[in-house]
């Protein structure tokens, strides 16, 4: 799984050895396995690189970007042939109808404006509603140029009305740098899937070798809409995209914020789910007694114990204390027992735990019961769960989660032909084309 971005900022010699990228800097030498690397950024003109490494970088579909003396990206390595059927794909690409291109461009512009509006809402901009109103005005092919109008409002809202896009200032330099890195990654994915970056949907500049990439830079659909009456299901054939999404969700489950994924409720309001997500991959070792669950269990049990029972437990505690105090008299030591009675401490001493069930479906239903009783998470995410459940078991899980108002999200690394009546399914194929069912 490639996940690293390697940035080289000073004089170095980089080469290849036994599936590793070797970076030599003065007396220092570092090794990074090629399978871990997604992108290499050469942010120095004092770097020498071996031709054999370039060949291995190409074979492993690693993105490499070169920057000039002002740290601006100026080029990249783009392989000729990374897909076995690139000729077929290029012929298909050249025959895309104008109608289809216009429909795609309408979708791209709508999503671009939606993402701009979400960011303005996040920073409490007064122009949020104005830019949001443009979405419904976008026609096929964006003949009325809603993209341009929205962009003007968007950048003015972010950087004041004095801001002018593409002027030579720090803000534009930062934006250009970010766009260049992002564009390079789209170039890699497009070529890897056998298409030409030159043949765009909307961008048609004869001097731009990355027209198609420029189309897609504007469009990254990173919203997941959670609804009360349906189960959201994402089936992803593109392995790179699948692993990246799972990694982002895993970070969110550990309270590490992500700017790459946005959760929305049915009213299109953004939901903060940091530390309110549990992600499950290993269904043979579901941890029912994690610190997160057990602490909530103890707190709930403590609250639910009535006062009369607390008095009885306290009396028992005092008896135990008396017995122990007598035994302490044998030792000439200043020993002290805690006088304060704490129900939660007693529960810990008794090691109250939750027992797992005998089969997977029952364990999944138990997870829903735990979250329903303790209100621990707002979303349970199951990865590749369909590999382990029969259709009737999946149906039972869906019904139980909806009945208990527990939101679950299923993400699979393959597409299934059938669609459950409770599902809202998003399919992302190998070419990153999306289909909503």
Residues 337-378 pLDDT 10s:
766 667 777 777 777 788 889 899 999 999 999 988 888 888
Q: CA-CA distance, 349 to 367, in Å (whole number)?
A: 24
Distance, C-alpha 424 to centroid of its chain: 19
Give the mean pLDDT of 281-306: 85
Q: Phi/psi zone of residue 432: left (φ > 0), alpha (ψ -120 to 50 degrees), beta?
A: left
Rounded CA separation 107/373 (Å) = 41
DSSP H helices in 193-290 = 211-217, 239-253
3-class secondary-structure state, position 141 = helix
Query: Which ranges constitute the DSSP H helices of 305-405?
Result: 307-328, 343-349, 360-374, 391-403
CA distance 14 to 427: 40
pLDDT digits (tens, 9 = 90+) for 394-431: 999 999 999 999 999 999 998 887 778 888 888 876 65
Regarding beta strands 28-33 and 20-25, do their DSSP bridges make them parallel or antiparallel, or are they unpaired? antiparallel
Q: What is the mean pLDDT of residues 175-180?
A: 83
pTM of structure = 0.49
Q: What is the pLDDT of residues 36-57, one digit of tens each?
A: 998 899 999 999 999 999 999 9
pLDDT category, 93, cuts 50, 70, 90?
Answer: confident
Which parts of 171-285 are beta strand (E)? Answer: 223-225, 231-236, 262-264, 270-271, 277-280
For residues 39 and 64, the answer to whether their CB atoms sit within 8 Å is yes
Structure token digits, residue 288 = 């029912």
Going across the sheet that includes 262-264, the strands are 223-225, 262-264, 270-271
pLDDT of residue 416: 84
Residue 25's DSSP bridge partners are 28
- Give CA 354 to chain center in angstroms: 30
pLDDT exceeds 80 at position 208: no
Each residue's pLDDT tens digit, 218-262: 544 445 667 778 898 998 887 877 887 888 888 888 888 765 566
- Choose among 3, 34, 7: nearest CA to 18: 34
Supply the pLDDT for residue 170: 85
For residue 223, how many C-alpha atoms fall within 13 Å in the half-sphere facing its CB? 21
């Amino acid at each position: 799984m490639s996940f690293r971005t390697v940035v080289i900022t000073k004089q170095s010699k980089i080469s290849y050895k036994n599936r590793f990228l070797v970076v030599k800097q003065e007396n220092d030498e570092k090794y990074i396995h090629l399978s871990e690397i997604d992108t290499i950024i050469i942010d120095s003109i004092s770097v020498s690189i071996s031709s054999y490494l370039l060949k291995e970088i190409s074979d492993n579909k690693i993105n490499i970007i070169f920057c000039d003396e002002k740290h601006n990206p100026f080029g990249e390595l783009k392989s000729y042939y990374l897909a076995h059927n690139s000729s077929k794909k290029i012929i298909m690409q050249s025959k895309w109808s104008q109608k289809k291109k216009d429909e795609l461009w309408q979708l791209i512009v709508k999503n671009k404006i939606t993402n701009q509006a979400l960011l303005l809402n996040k920073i409490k901009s007064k122009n949020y509603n104005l830019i949001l109103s443009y979405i419904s005005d976008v026609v096929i092919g964006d003949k009325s140029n809603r993209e341009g109008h929205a962009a003007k409002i968007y950048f003015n809202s972010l950087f004041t009305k004095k801001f002018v896009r593409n002027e030579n200032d720090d803000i534009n330099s930062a934006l250009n740098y970010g766009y260049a890195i992002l564009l390079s990654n789209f170039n890699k994915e497009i070529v890897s899937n056998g298409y030409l970056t030159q043949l765009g949907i909307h961008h048609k500049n004869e001097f731009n070798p990355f027209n198609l990439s420029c189309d897609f830079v504007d469009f990254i659909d990173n919203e997941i809409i959670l609804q009360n009456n349906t189960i959201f299901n994402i089936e992803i054939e593109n392995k790179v995209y699948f692993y990246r999404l799972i990694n982002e969700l895993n970070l969110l489950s550990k309270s590490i914020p992500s700017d790459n994924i946005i959760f929305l409720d049915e009213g299109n309001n953004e939901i903060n789910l940091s530390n309110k997500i549990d992600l499950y991959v290993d269904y043979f070792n579901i941890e029912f007694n994690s610190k997160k669950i057990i602490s909530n269990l103890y707190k709930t049990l403590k609250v639910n114990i009535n006062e009369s029972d607390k008095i009885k437990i306290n009396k028992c505690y005092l008896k135990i204390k008396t017995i122990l105090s007598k035994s302490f008299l044998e030792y000439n030591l200043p020993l002290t027992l805690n006088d304060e009675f704490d129900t939660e401490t007693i529960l810990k001493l008794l090691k109250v735990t939750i027992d797992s069930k005998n089969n997977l479906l029952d364990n999944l239903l138990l997870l829903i019961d735990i979250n329903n009783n303790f209100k621990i998470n707002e979303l349970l995410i199951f990865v590749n769960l369909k590999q382990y459940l029969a259709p009737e078991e999946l149906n039972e899980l869906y019904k139980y989660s909806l009945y208990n108002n527990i939101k679950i999200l299923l993400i699979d690394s393959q597409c299934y032909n059938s669609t459950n009546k409770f599902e809202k399914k998003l399919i992302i194929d190998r070419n990153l084309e999306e289909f909503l069912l």
